Amino acid sequence: MTLQPGIRGSASVLATHENSAAAVGSGALEVFATPSMIALMEKAALESVQPFLSEGEGTVGAEIHVTHDAPTPLGLTVTATAVLVEVDRRRLVFRVEASAGGEVIGKGSHTRFIINSERFLQKAMAKHTQQ
């Protein structure tokens, strides 16, 4: 199997206090938070391509451009979808969208990079010795 445009993925979560704007600190209201929506979009993207990667590979988020267009009250299920629209070597670009209660609540684009997981973690951990 090979990575190619058209690969799709989705992820869902129930809007609860734990992922509300009040709980994550992005606002004061008990509604589904923008950072929670973004995390769900990223999850949909990463899970869509993971089966196509080699052992030891993963993806990391690098860029996201989204709008959060409608509020979501607690108790509704939020579903994010991701469609791979571009593959440029290790760079993957997705069209992402989130919906709840029958309406689109957010949309945009998301870029991820394919990485060697072990090397990536080693590079991150090396920052401890640089202090």
Query: Which residue is catalytic, options 59, 68, 81, 97?
Result: 68
The letter for the amino acid at 98 is A
Catalytic residue among 42, 72, 81, 110: 42
Helices within the chain (DSSP H only):
21-24, 34-49, 117-125
Residue 45, CB-side half-sphere exposure with 13 Å CA sphere: 33
Residue 86 is among the residues annotated as catalytic for this protein? no
Name the catalytic one among 2, 17, 30, 34.
34
Q: Give the residue among 45, 34, 50, 35 at the shortest CA–CA distance from 110.
A: 45
Residue pair 44/96 in contact (Cβ under 8 Å)? The answer is yes
42 given a catalytic annotation = yes
Cα 63 versus chain centre, distance:
10
Q: 68 an active-site residue?
A: yes
Active site residues: 34, 42, 68
